[in-house]
């Protein structure tokens, strides 16, 4: 925005306008993120009748679209729920028995925030998450213990 304002209104206004725009955008994204977290998070540690082991914001990549939403790990499944502002809003439910392997991955080959879920049927699901190491560790632990056991 600073470059845009500089081209049309001069360097001084461009610098001030760019900083102000950046700050306003940051505040708007922070508010949006907080509202989405409050809306999606299972505050009582129960998700659709199951105990929540871990949860957090995520993007699920499906057919080249990054679908924003919320990822939840329970004793029996890994569930993704879209926040609704996407073209593809179908929920994803992977039972622990369907998950063959979980690996950390690089998004776009460079960003260390990817989580690749390899299913027993050979298909893969790809998520972008915060705390990918913790996600991978907890999902692997649940795979090893089985869906009926909690750790």
- 46-145 — its CATH code? 2.30.29.30
The answer to whether 76 touches 96, Cβ cutoff 8 Å, is yes
Taking the whole predicted model, whether its pTM rises above 0.85 is answered as no
Render pLDDT for 49-66 as a digit per residue (tens, 0 to 9). 889 999 999 999 887 778
Residue-range domain boundaries for the chain: 2-40, 46-145
Q: For residue 12, report the phi and psi dihedrals to the nearest 5 degrees.
A: -60, -50
Render pLDDT for 96-107 as a digit per residue (tens, 0 to 9). 999 999 999 998
| Helices within 10-90 (DSSP H only) | 11-40
């Amino acid at each position: 925005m600073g470059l845009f304002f500089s081209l049309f209104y001069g360097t001084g206004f461009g610098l001030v306008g760019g900083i102000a725009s950046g700050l306003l955008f940051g505040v708007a994204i922070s508010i949006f993120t907080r509202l989405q977290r409050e809306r999606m998070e299972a505050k009582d540690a129960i998700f659709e009748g199951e105990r929540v082991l871990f949860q957090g914001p995520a993007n699920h990549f499906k057919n080249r679209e990054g679908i924003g939403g919320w990822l939840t790990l329970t004793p029996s499944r890994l569930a993704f729920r879209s926040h609704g502002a996407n073209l593809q809003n179908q929920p994803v439910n992977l039972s622990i028995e369907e998950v063959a392997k979980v690996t950390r991955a690089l998004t776009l080959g460079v960003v260390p925030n990817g989580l690749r879920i390899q299913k027993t049927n050979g298909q893969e699901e790809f998520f972008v998450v915060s705390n990918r190491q913790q996600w991978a560790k907890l999902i692997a632990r649940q795979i090893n213990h089985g869906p009926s056991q909690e750790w």
